[in-house]
Amino acid sequence: MKKIKGVNDFVVKFANVNGTGSASANHLFAKTIFRMGIPVSPRNIFPSNIQGLPTWYEVRVSKNGYLGRRGGVDLMVCVNPQSMEKDVASVDPGGYFLYDSTKPLPTHLKRDDITYIGIPLTQMCMQEFEVPRLQQLLKNVVYVGALAALLNMDLSMVKDLLADQFKGKEKLISSNVQALEIGYQYALENYKCPLAIRLENGNADAPHIAESEHILMNGNTAAALGAIYGGATVAAWYPITPSTSVVDAFSKYAERLRIDPGTGKRNYAIVQAEDELAAIGMVVGANWNGARAFTATSGPGLSLMSEFLGLAYFAEVPVVLINVQRSGPSTGMPTRSQQSDVLAAAYASHGDTKQVLLFPATPRECFDMTVEAFDLSERLQTPVILMSDLDLGMNDWMSPPLEWDDKYEMDRGKVLDAQGLDEAEKWGRYLDVDGDGICFRTLPGTHPDKGAYFTRGSSKNEMAVYSESGEDYVQNVDRLLRKFDTAKTYVPTPKTHPPIEVKKPKTKLKIGTLFFGTSASPSYEAVEILAEEGIPIDTMRIRAFPFHNDLDDFIHDHDLVFVIEQNRDGQMRQLIMNECQIAPDKLTSVLNYSGTPITARAIAGKIRETLNTHSADVVALRPETA
Amino acid sequence: MSYVKPKFRHPKLPTNSLGYSVADYDGAISTLCAGCGHDSISAAIRNACFKSAIPPHRIAKLSGIGCSSKMPTYFLGRSHGFNSVHGRMPSVATGASLANRELTYIGVSGDGDTASIGMGQFVHLIRRNVNMTYIVANNGCYGLTKGQDSATADLGSVAKGGAVNPFDGIDLASLALLQGASFVARSFSGDKEQLEPLIRAAMAHKGFAFIDVVSPCVTFNNHAGSTKSYAETRAHVDAMQLDFIPMREEIRTQYEAGTSQTVTLHDGSVIHLQKASSDYATDDRAAAMQAIQKAEAEDKILTGLLHLDPNSQDLNQLLNLANKPLNELDKDELCPGSRVLDSINQGLR
Ligand SMILES: Cc1ncc(C[n+]2csc(CCOP(=O)(O)OP(=O)(O)O)c2C)c(N)n1
Ligand code: SF4
Ligand SMILES: [Mg+2]
């Protein structure tokens, strides 16, 4: 048997039972690798359940700094008898399978192309600890200890992290350290340590994460901090996975950072609404009244908010909506990731609507783009939807640190105060004086005689007077379209990278890829895999809707463009075709909608396969390496 | 257009303590059917704001969708207004009130808007005790969509087409009481002597003030057999008379002992109640409930101030919000700055 080898380059997957305390032990494992300066990307793959169902945690270690999923499993740590059969089968040939050997492994689970590592976790914990709860919980820490020996982890770092985690609870620290040590010793005594897959300190100079000093955080926390820094004062929401932790984090930071020092009162309000209709209604009311307000939701919540999104679009009220996408439709797979709200968000609501969307790909972008969403929504007087997803929102990602420019000023857009109203020659709420489609608004309570108007979802003329005249209506919705065009000049531009040099290209075709959000990392990796094989591919990462003109140019400059995304219907592809008048055969979808994030291998495989059908233009390609 | 001073006023028009005449509280000409109860409510709101001398621009008007929800166009033309979506004005009002605690908020809704599509938001608005006046123009039908029964239509009421309503109606005042509303009143659009002081009291109240106003729809629900017609309402109404005396104003009227009750609001304003047939203390929620049920059993519609909780704490207080309106907080008060962010980064390494 040829064993898988690799220093700082492998995938470990943990198979646990939900609600057994495995999450913090697994996090401890990933965080230690992070602290060792090695690029790491951990992912929870969890059921919609509080206790008892199988849950997985996948940790990718990548010396190159690839943070997306690679595909495949090199080491499986299985502490869940329910899923064991499937877990054994999912290990790559040459890989490793660590299991609780208190009970012998059923013979039908024996494969001869993988290495088994038995650690009697249950037995060790029964002997070592008396409290039943600890016997259960510390099993997880014992396997972390064993992994420390097997993978050459820095044991002192693990202990430091434990000490941080249980600060003030000395008893817990000592029992955890004890569990760690017995696991470590057991592995040392019974197996040849370290394995052929192992860790070695430092790789912070890896190409994809070259700027060192990374942080490890999830996108939802980053977005919440964006709301704090962006000056949000009202958050209204209704609990739904995977967006709940946005407001949880906002609440946590606001309690620390937003208390008025003089009075001890709050400079923010959080309302857990009765449903998503009310949540966004509150956000509309607060923004209409001049406060920066936001909501966060997912899946069905977005559908419920769509009526108000139409009102806010048509009545031109700013709204910031953080949409953390999950697998739909309906309740779909609420704890699994997807990018499947693209169309529902872009055209959210009845009638002719187009909404501004931002697509963050890293926690840093979740932070920056949330701040930007507040500025944009006030500048453009329209909803702005941050299109995150479960993978980005709920998993820890290595990210450049968050940065803040103390010179930042909020862009409140075109708002006339009392003086502005007095100085204005003529004011009408929907008069397009600047020709950019954006009119001047006023806030309630501003001026005794001027600036009052009626906000409504019904048609009106430029002076905000109710009107059912077809001309007034057309003039208004055409102006809204002009405004959407103006938005192109404000939203984040797409990102391209210099192409990777390919010495002897095997294809004459000019190939491009388009992707966004969490599809980006594995897409960049796939492009590098293919470059190695002699296929040069250009990339463009879309960061906003409306699309920048560069997107049109990019598509026109290439013979074949792959649109890589995580939904069934190729929604981004459809949106591009719809908005940019692109012939359908120009754009080929690369899709994954299984609920687990797309992998680099899958992307590379699909592109390879497509190119093989263009055989006239492509010299024979190497088959996929496992 | 250069700066114009407030409109020329006819010297004979009386002004309030701010120097505004009642015309300064006017809105656009109503487009509702002639005789519609809703227009009388608009007039009562206008008069109440004028008499209570609230600067018009410090009032915000909010509504849902329906004939009733169109009303805010027809009063207070100098106030900002928001005609939102059907049944969901409560959430918009909640957000607005969180953003600026210093304005006076008047919400206008219909029985369809509140008791059907907006029922969820309505009860939660009560539960949160948002500081606003919430008026339902209750005509027992959907006026704007041409007369279908609403959820407040009384059992046995006959629709214009002859169909008899087989369902029990929802009584919004009882519901508000049950849910803990801090100010509950009922009135009749035809009784402006009662409605105006009620609206003034509601606006002075700190917290959620609910007024259910029977407001006949002359076009779809004013025929014989309808329980929400002018004639039927007049025949059954059991009205308390009341006076509203704002703070600092002297009580001049002499009230006969034993027939009246004085209720003091948080700002020192006083409501003087002349009881009709029932007699109970308005701070007693259970007694209010009983009085409504007793009147109902006697085939009467009890109107007036039904309940007032003098210890009401509004949403802004419940959430311990800053005294300064949230929409006036500036960058320095909101943004923690780069040093704090650096320390947050440090904690994530
Ligand atoms: C979501 C939605 N559904 C339906 C309607 C249509 N609609 C408009 S007004 C109305 C009923 C209004 O009844 P009520 O609130 O009692 O007001 P009234 O006209 O009787 O004063 C309905 C159903 C709508 N505007 N929005
Ligand atoms: S239809 Fe009825 S409720 Fe509507 S305006 Fe006419 S009378 Fe009033
Ligand atoms: Mg009605």
B256-300 pLDDT, tens per residue?
A: 666 678 899 988 999 988 876 668 999 999 999 999 999 999 999
Read off the tokens for A451: 């600036």
In angstroms, the CA A450 to CA A421 distance is: 7
Task: List the alpha helices (DSSP H) in A426-469.
Answer: none
| pLDDT level of residue A206 (50, 70, 90 thresholds) | low
In angstroms, the CA B321 to CA A264 distance is: 9
Sequence ranges of the domains in chain B: 22-249+279-318
Chain B hits for A287, Cβ within 8 Å: 95, 99
Confidence at residue A614, expressed as pLDDT on a 0 to 100 scale? 75
Residue type, B130: V
Confidence at residue A47, expressed as pLDDT on a 0 to 100 scale? 85
Decide: A298 and A246 in contact? Cβ < 8 Å.
no
B110-161 pLDDT, tens per residue?
A: 999 999 999 999 999 999 999 999 999 999 999 999 999 999 999 999 999 9
Confidence at residue B250, expressed as pLDDT on a 0 to 100 scale? 72
Sign of CA dihedral A219, A220, A221, A226: positive
Fold of the CATH domain B22-249+279-318: Rossmann fold (3.40.50)
Decide: B30 and B42 in contact? Cβ < 8 Å.
yes
Residue type, B61: K
A17-75 pLDDT, tens per residue?
A: 998 889 999 999 999 999 998 999 999 998 888 888 999 999 999 999 999 999 999 99
Kindly tell me if the per-residue pLDDT of B5 is higher than 80: no
CA separation (Å) from B111 to A243, B39, B163, B166, B180?
A: 35, 16, 19, 18, 20
Domains of chain A: 6-207 (3.40.920.10), 216-399 (3.40.50.970), 495-620 (3.40.50.920)
Give the pocket of ligand 2 (CB within 6 Å). Answer: B 32-33, 36, 38, 67, 139, 143-144, 217-220
Vertex B249, ends B244 and B250: CA angle to 5°? Answer: 95
Segment (H or E) for B209:
strand B208-214
Tell which residue, A395, A357, A364, has the closest CA to residue A571.
Answer: A357
Kindly tell me if the per-residue pLDDT of A522 is higher than 80: yes
- For tokens 């609910």, name the residue: B210
Kindly tell me if the per-residue pLDDT of A360 is higher than 90: yes
**Which of A166-175, B4-13, B328-337 is least confident?**
B4-13
Q: Do the chains contact at B344 and A213, CB–CB below 8 Å?
A: no
**Which residue from A minimizes the CA distance to B28?**
A465
Read off the tokens for A279: 């949540």
Q: Do the chains contact at B98 and A466, CB–CB below 8 Å?
A: no
* Across A341-366, average pLDDT: 98
**Which residue from B minimizes the CA distance to A261?**
B333
Chain B hits for A454, Cβ within 8 Å: 72-73, 80-83
Confidence at residue B4, expressed as pLDDT on a 0 to 100 scale? 38
Read off the tokens for A212: 């060192």
| B contact residues 281-320, partner A, Cβ 8 Å cutoff | 319-320
Q: What is the DSSP string of A198-254?
A: E--S--TT-GGG-S---EEEEHHHHHHHHHHHTT--EEEE---TTTHHHHHHHHHHH
Residue type, B11: P
How big, in percent rounded to 5, are the helix, strand and coil portions of chain A? 40, 20, 40
pTM of the complete model? 0.96
Confidence at residue B7, expressed as pLDDT on a 0 to 100 scale? 52
Distance from CA of B19 to the nearest CA of A (A): 12
Confidence at residue A202, expressed as pLDDT on a 0 to 100 scale? 77
